[in-house]
């Protein structure tokens, strides 16, 4: 058996500069943690972009060597690639389309050309490292063309693809001028995974209607190959979050924060800056809570963490301004000398402080307008080791399929979100416990390690079936 090559747009580290010298930060994100268990084994490697532009060829060579030591191979992007491939086709065309924000879709030929060019760049980087019996696992919407590019060069390779964001209805996919090469690109894989059954169904329907390929129980027959398509809802590192919640470090941070905040009830929201996360809608529902129930003034606050992201893209910059204005309006309307309704942070936090936020907040408010999975809600649930706390979760998040014991809301229905807040603030301790225990069982059973194992086991099954099929 060969090695496994993990491929994602970003490497599990990010490159920054300290005193003009490259400086790496390891990512604590879900994917990095989950795939860490595979990536560290044997000769396995990770290929991806280090997340910044590196102009100096000497510095590129240094970075290459440094990453090589850590079993990673960088794909360097030019300024143009970053603008047209990353910001452009990935985040101004595919991202809005796949999240149903059709009004934001950019239809730019030069973005598409850059997308093809950079997918080819990734392909070349992989071909330099790949042996015929290797397994190549490609991740996410930035690399939809890669499975086919690899298949054309390595016809017998084991290639898997996982989509971390939603896959939209055929009605959206058909709008894209490049719908055919996109679907053909994905179909280069042996196994294609999505977070939810709905995403999988949308994909199969698009493949049927655009490529004319039908399927039987999730198996597509394409030329002389079988392609399996299925749902694999991604989990979190449950133990990491539950253990951290009870650790001395977290308890000390909680203690410190609580002293500053007093005895008020806390709502928590944590997101990357993104219009798909429904942040303004959430703030409006929170504002309405004080209008309908003034008794919550000075008793309830929202801790809102917005992690900076893609702020070179126009829609993200505008969203940031909208959020700033809304927070300003709410705080100026209700604040008193010893109470602020919204504690708003536009920055990332270290793991221990996030863990403390999860631990000490009474309500997790996770209301994206559309989200492939959403791991924040799972992290909140896993951190509630005393089984007290309420999760309010959007029906539009992939996680809502598993977390049916949350208070599920349509994030566009402001009245319902306000009502859910009122209900959560008054939920009995017994009911909080019953709901949390049930959700904890679900996410503990299907954690990130299980997710990787189930996916990889399925890939073996698909390869065996294929051999059988091709020998007929
Ligand atoms: O999960 C979706 C995703 O786009 C990942 O592919 C990505 O690594 C993450 O969100 C953060 O986005 P970005 O890489 O654009 O900062």
- pLDDT of res. 108: 98
CA of 320 to the centre of ligand 1 (A): 18
Q: How does pLDDT run along the chain (472 residues), one tens digit per residue?
A: 789 999 999 999 988 877 777 888 887 666 777 788 788 888 999 999 999 898 889 999 999 999 999 999 999 999 999 999 999 999 999 999 999 999 999 999 999 999 999 999 999 999 999 998 999 999 999 999 999 999 999 999 999 999 999 999 999 999 999 999 999 999 999 999 999 999 999 999 999 999 999 999 999 998 889 999 999 999 999 999 999 999 999 999 999 999 999 899 999 999 999 999 999 999 999 999 999 999 999 999 999 999 999 988 999 999 999 999 999 999 999 999 999 999 999 999 999 999 999 999 999 999 999 999 999 999 999 999 999 999 999 999 999 999 999 999 999 999 999 999 999 999 999 999 999 999 999 999 999 999 999 999 999 999 999 988 888 7
Beta-ladder partners of 306: 271
- pLDDT of res. 251: 96
- pLDDT of res. 383: 98
> What pTM was estimated for this model as a whole?
0.96
Pocket test for ligand 1, best of 6, 161, 162, 165 (most atoms within 8 A of CB): 165
Which residue CA neighbors atom 8 of ligand 1 most closely?
10
CA of 337 to the centre of ligand 1 (A): 39
Give the gyration radius of the chain's Cα atoms: 23
Q: Which atom of ligand 1 has the smallest separation from the CA of 91?
A: 15
Which residue CA neighbors atom 14 of ligand 1 most closely?
10
Q: How far apart are CA 280 and CA 82, in angstroms?
A: 28
- Which residues have any ligand 1 atom within 6 Å of their CB? 9-10, 140, 164-165, 309-310
Which residue CA neighbors atom 6 of ligand 1 most closely?
140
CA of 44 to the centre of ligand 1 (A): 22
Q: Which atom of ligand 1 has the smallest separation from the CA of 8?
A: 6
Which residue CA neighbors atom 12 of ligand 1 most closely?
309
- pLDDT of res. 37: 74
Q: What ipTM is given for this predicted complex?
A: 0.95
């Amino acid at each position: 058996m060969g090695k496994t090559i993990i491929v994602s747009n970003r490497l599990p580290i990010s490159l920054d500069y300290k005193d003009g010298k490259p400086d790496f930060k390891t990512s604590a994100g879900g994917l990095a943690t989950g795939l860490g268990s595979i990536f560290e084994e044997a000769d396995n490697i990770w290929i991806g972009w280090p997340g910044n532009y590196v102009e100096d060829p000497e510095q590129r060579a240094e970075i290459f060597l440094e990453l090589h030591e850590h079993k990673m191979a960088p794909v360097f992007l030019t300024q143009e690639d970053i603008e047209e491939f990353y910001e452009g086709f990935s985040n101004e065309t595919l991202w809005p389309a796949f999240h149903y924000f059709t009004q934001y879709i950019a239809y730019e030929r030069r973005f598409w050309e850059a997308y093809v060019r950079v997918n080819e760049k990734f392909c070349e980087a992989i071909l330099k490292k790949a042996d015929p019996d290797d397994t190549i696992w490609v991740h996410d919407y930035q690399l939809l063309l890669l499975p086919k590019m690899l298949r054309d060069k390595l016809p017998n390779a084991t290639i898997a693809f996982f989509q971390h964001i939603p896959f939209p209805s055929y009605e959206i996919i058909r709008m894209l001028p490049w719908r055919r090469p996109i679907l053909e690109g994905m179909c280069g894989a042996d196994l294609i995974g999505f977070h939810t059954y709905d995403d999988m169904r949308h994909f199969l329907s698009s493949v049927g209607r655009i490529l004319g390929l039908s399927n039987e129980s999730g198996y597509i027959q394409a030329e002389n190959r079988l392609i399996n398509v299925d749902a694999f809802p991604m989990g979190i590192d449950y133990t990491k979050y539950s253990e951290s919640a009870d650790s001395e470090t977290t308890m000390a941070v909680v203690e410190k924060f609580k002293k500053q905040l007093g005895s008020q009830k806390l709502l928590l929201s944590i997101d990357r800056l993104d219009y798909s996360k429904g942040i303004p809608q959430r703030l409006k529902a929170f504002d309405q809570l004080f209008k309908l129930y003034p008794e919550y003034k000075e008793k309830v606050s929202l801790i809102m963490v917005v992690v900076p992201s893609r702020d070179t893209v126009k829609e993200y910059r505008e969203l940031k301004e909208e959020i700033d204005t809304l927070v300003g309006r709410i705080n100026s309307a209700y604040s008193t000398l010893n109470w602020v309704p919204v504690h708003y942070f536009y920055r990332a936090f270290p793991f221990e402080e996030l863990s403390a936020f999860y631990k000490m907040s009474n309500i997790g408010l996770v209301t994206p307008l559309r989200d492939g999975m959403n791991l924040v809600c799972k992290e909140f649930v896993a951190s509630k080791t005393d089984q007290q706390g309420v999760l309010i979760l959007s029906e539009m998040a992939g996680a809502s399929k598993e977390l049916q014991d949350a208070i599920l809301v349509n994030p566009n229905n402001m009245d319902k979100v306000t009502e859910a807040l009122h209900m959560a603030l008054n939920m009995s301790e017994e009911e909080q416990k019953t709901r949390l225990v049930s959700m904890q069982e679900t996410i503990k059973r299907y954690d990130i390690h299980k997710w990787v194992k189930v996916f990889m086991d399925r890939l073996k099954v698909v390869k065996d079936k294929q051999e059988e099929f091709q020998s007929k």
